[in-house]
Structure 1
């Protein structure tokens, strides 16, 4: 993952953002602020008017009501590697559920069903489809961490709908070995280090 683009006037950019609630991963919206509106002016231009192949874009998406680790880059190969299903890069989320799952037996049932893969209910942008195995770790009756390796539309929310529950808060903690920088407040971002960029090549 080199830090130089084809056009030497536009060196590649690699950013980590703590995406806030309410922001959309789109270049424009009539109803919500966009993640690009949080960037400085130079990076806004890189997202809107840079040449093809050098344009700043999000690596995958987080929906409006989700927060946490979001990557942005101008490097299409880097972006594709992270989002391609065959890469099977792990993404871990902190989940808060509407209905408490109180007993160890109920929690174990969630763990086993998630690990086996589930049939995800249809969403308005996605048909009914199967999920790959997911790893679930309980923190309390209403909070858990879940790790998935795919990027299906609203996948984590649909996993818990398939389990008979509802996600009321979703926060991405990590992508691969890269964890959200705890020094970043919601809406803040920083450049990735060279070591962090290269971690996705391992």
Structure 2
């Protein structure tokens, strides 16, 4: 039996050679249009690939059932916007920690945490960009202003980093980076509002 969100698809397992073929066939149906897959259960056990194309190695004669669970894209987007507020708080905490370490002359530890902070910031900005493209109401002004601020600040911080002026970097993090990231709270709030409206419709 193959089902999507509790509904039987009518697709027969024995038509396919392996799990990958089954999953690709499910993706071709209209069942998942505008939805994101959250879970796959094979023989009532949760399945996720440990290595690429692992599903290809699971022969169809080993499979009794495949169940796919999904959520609407907008529900997932709304859920992510709620998490982004926590990420801003984490970045705030991280920036303060890096500034403190630089001021204590613990440069090695500070640089390590700084690198993690920059990685998280890049991922955060990418995610906000993706959500903004999915949003029906594009919060242009707040996003553009916040993105310009952070982009200019990144250039300045990179220059300071190359000059190894750790105290100036600590100041930039504390007095400019934290407020700049804080401006994204408005962007996140606008995105939330947009997705909440869409979900209700």
TM-score relative to the length of structure 1 = 0.25
Whose strand fraction is larger, Structure 1's or Structure 2's? 1
Whose helix fraction is larger, Structure 1's or Structure 2's? 2
Return the structure number with greater relative CO, CA threshold 8 A, min gap 6.
Answer: 1
Larger CA Rg, structure 1 vs 2 = 2
